[in-house]
């Protein structure tokens, strides 16, 4: 089948981008469509056949700013012509699902989440430059997004959490296919690593995009008080703000190789995930490498982390709740670390690459 894969924007690296590379292997002759492509920040995509929208030609200060470019995205994706394709797969957390296809074309949407800043974190984003849009404008975007979500022939949600949101906001049923986790790849990295336990100092770890909904500021506020060492790995629009907020016990890293990241997982006391995730890819990396997870007990983390075996949860996104979780972790650290090493691989094998490929291809055949 002549296939097109559509993604919101190709300008970074993360868990979702690993899904795109899996799609490229599954459909080796597929064309990739996106609003715009940045070859410097998304070098992983250099071998893909990428077709961009008119946004690619806009000045950098517009196309690289999600707020300034917001009004253009609906037009960008609706302008693509998929008449020659038999299969279109939109991988979307916002606009890619809005593409328009002919009746003879099968459109599958692999939904990462209903658009966060329209439905889930409106207050967070309305306290940003998006506030200028006003609530009336936001309602128009919500109406458009709802209509756009009716266009795919079928929606496949990345988790039960997203499945519930899809039903709530888009009034559509969907089936769950968890994102692929390449166990073999991370196992090879694991075997190349020296034995853990040779760390110079005790530290906790955050691996995340530095965006408002990720709640990294919550972890910083907690560790500013605890004075324990914290390492934050990631990039995003909140980088400057978070650096200013952080005390001297907190370090920032970005653009690490998977090998360098693996060393941190293996040496850290625990990975901290304060956000409500749709899935939580980094929790799988941590678990496979024997790193326990301290996660907010809502959303995708509850589907990936095994409470008491590979991690623990806290109930509220507050300084008090997370501080309490870190204290609780300290009392069981030795046993939980041992348990994470024992059950980590078993836990992540539920999300294997082979399982994803078989389940996804069933929707195409």
Q: Is the pLDDT of residue 197 over 50?
A: no
How many C-beta atoms surround the C-beta of residue 224 within 10 A?
Answer: 16
Is residue 323 within 8 Å of residue 218, measured between CB atoms?
no
The span from the CA of 357 to the CA of 34, in Å, is: 23
Domain boundaries, given as residue ranges, for the chain: 3-176, 183-350
The average pLDDT across 127-138 equals 60
pLDDT digits (tens, 9 = 90+) for 31-53: 999 999 999 999 999 999 999 99
Beta bridge partners of 4: 31, 88
The span from the CA of 301 to the CA of 313, in Å, is: 9
The average pLDDT across 126-148 equals 74
Name which CATH class applies to 3-176.
alpha beta
The span from the CA of 81 to the CA of 59, in Å, is: 24
Cα of first residue to Cα of last residue in the chain, in angstroms, is 10
Is residue 45 within 8 Å of residue 11, measured between CB atoms?
no
Same fold, 3-176 and 183-350: yes
The span from the CA of 145 to the CA of 292, in Å, is: 37
Q: Tell me, rounded to whole angstroms, the distance of Cα 53 from its chain centroid.
A: 23
pLDDT for the residue 125:
57
The average pLDDT across 128-152 equals 80
Q: Is the pLDDT of residue 150 over 80?
A: yes
Is residue 326 within 8 Å of residue 315, measured between CB atoms?
no
3-state helix, strand, coil in the chain (%, to 5): 45, 15, 35
The architecture (CATH level 2) of 183-350 comes to 3-Layer(aba) Sandwich (3.40)
Q: Is 299 left (phi over 0), alpha (psi -120 to 50) or beta?
A: left
The span from the CA of 314 to the CA of 222, in Å, is: 13
């Amino acid at each position: 089948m002549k296939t097109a894969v559509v993604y919101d924007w190709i300008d970074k690296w993360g868990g979702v981008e690993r899904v795109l590379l899996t799609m490229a292997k599954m459909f080796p002759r597929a064309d990739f469509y996106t609003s715009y492509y940045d070859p410097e920040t998304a070098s992983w995509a250099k071998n893909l056949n990428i077709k961009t929208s008119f946004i690619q030609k806009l000045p950098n200060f517009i196309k690289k700013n999600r707020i300034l470019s917001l009004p253009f995205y609906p037009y960008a994706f609706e302008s693509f012509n998929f008449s020659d394709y038999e299969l279109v797969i939109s991988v979307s957390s916002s606009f890619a699902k809005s593409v328009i296809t002919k009746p003879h074309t099968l459109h599958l949407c692999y939904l990462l989440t209903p658009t966060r800043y329209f439905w889930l974190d409106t207050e967070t984003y309305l306290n940003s430059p998006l506030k200028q849009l006003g609530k009336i404008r936001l309602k128009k975007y919500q109406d458009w997004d709802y209509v756009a979500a009716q266009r795919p022939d079928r929606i496949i949600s990345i988790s039960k959490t997203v499945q519930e949101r899809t039903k709530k906001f888009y009034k559509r049923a969907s089936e769950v296919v968890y994102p692929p986790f390449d166990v073999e790849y991370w196992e090879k990295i694991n075997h190349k690593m020296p034995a853990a336990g040779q760390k110079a100092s005790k530290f906790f770890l955050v691996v995340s995009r530095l965006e408002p909904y990720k709640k990294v500021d919550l972890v910083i506020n907690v560790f500013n008080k605890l004075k324990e060492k914290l390492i934050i790995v990631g990039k995003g629009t909140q980088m400057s703000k978070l650096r200013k907020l952080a005390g001297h016990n907190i370090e920032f890293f970005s653009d690490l190789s998977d090998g360098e990241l693996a060393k941190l997982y293996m040496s850290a006391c625990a990975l901290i995930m304060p956000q409500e995730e749709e899935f939580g890819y980094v929790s799988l990396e941590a678990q496979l490498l024997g790193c326990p997870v301290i996660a907010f007990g809502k959303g995708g983390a509850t589907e990936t982390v095994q409470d008491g075996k590979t991690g623990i949860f806290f109930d509220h996104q507050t300084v008090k709740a997370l501080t309490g979780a870190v204290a609780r972790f300290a009392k069981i650290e030795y046993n939980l670390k041992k348990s994470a090493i024992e059950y980590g691989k078993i836990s992540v094998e539920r999300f294997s690459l082979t399982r994803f490929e078989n389940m996804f291809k069933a929707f195409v055949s």
